[in-house]
Amino acid sequence: MKTIAIIPARGGSKRLPQKNVKMLAGIPLLAHSILYAQANSDIIDEIYVSTDNDEIKKQAILFGAKVIDRPESLSGDLEPTVTALKNVLEQLEGDVENVVLLQPTNPLRPDDLLKKAFKMYEQNNSDSLFTVTQNHQKFGKIVQNKFVPFNYRIGQRSQDLEPLFYENGLLYITKAKLILEDKIISENAFTLIIDHIFAKIDIDAQDDFDYTEWIITKNKK
């Protein structure tokens, strides 16, 4: 039974056109996730890019991934990621056991993250795993033009906040059978807490792209 990586990369980005093939540190954004999967070949047997775009397809093949053409009906702005993953599995033979989802908009990941995560995934006999990061901000809502604290009391110190976490998008591991049921995260999913600067990166606009480029340059130095 195989473990495959799927990188969903459609071409219809509006805020940052063609972001998945935009050059980041000398290579296309998409390529960072492909190279990460290749560096974990002891876990990942095959790498697939799901796309509706010819340039993305070209770059994916150039960097050594296989491509599954995504139908236009599954490429809209509001289409959930799980439908792209399910479409890939439906095109493949039925011997895939695990799917590692690598989102191209999260191009930087700690080197040992997948090895650590996959070990946890197997040891806990989980059918899915995803990464989260603790939030240290004070949130509130605006009610009738007034700020109403949501996760703290006025005057409370940040270090005394009740721990809250957000889904950082760095990594997902899921049983293929779960994806075929239209799920990526199950009710008993294992949550892996990651405290790393890479967890703050999610490229959606040019500012995110510029920040990521700065982080890469800083780490090289």
pLDDT of 47? 98
H or E, element range at 49: strand 46-51
Question: Domains of the chain: which residue ranges?
Answer: 2-131+166-220
pLDDT of 176? 96
Cα separation, 197 vs 216, whole angstroms:
11
Nearest to 3 by CA among 91, 100, 115: 100
pLDDT of 17? 81
Whole-model pTM: value is 0.92
Contact partners, residue 92, CB within 8 Å, separation at least 6: 4, 48
Give the residue numbers marked as catalytic. 157
pLDDT of 216? 93
DSSP strand pairing (46-51 vs 2-8)? parallel
pLDDT of 101? 98
Torsion of Cα atoms, 93 then 96 then 128 then 76, to 10°: -30
pLDDT of 203? 94
pLDDT of 186? 94
In the chain, which residue ranges form alpha helices assigned H by DSSP? 29-38, 54-62, 81-91, 113-123, 176-179, 206-220
Contact predicate 199/171, CB 8 Å: no
What is 114-157 written as a DSSP string?
HHHHHHHHHHTT-SEEEEEEEE-S--EEEETTEEEESSS-TT--
Q: Which CATH number describes the domain made up of 2-131+166-220?
A: 3.90.550.10
pLDDT of 129? 98
Contact partners, residue 182, CB within 8 Å, separation at least 6: 82, 83, 86
3-class DSSP assignment, residue 184: coil
pLDDT of 149? 87
DSSP strand pairing (164-175 vs 96-101)? antiparallel
pLDDT of 93? 76
- φ, ψ for residue 50 (rounded to 5)? -100, 120
Per-residue pLDDT of the chain (221 residues; tens, 9 = 90+): 899 999 999 887 777 888 999 999 999 999 999 999 999 999 999 999 999 999 999 999 999 999 999 987 777 777 799 999 999 999 997 799 999 999 999 999 999 999 999 999 999 999 999 999 998 888 899 999 999 988 888 888 877 788 889 999 999 999 999 999 999 999 999 999 999 999 999 999 999 999 999 999 887 76
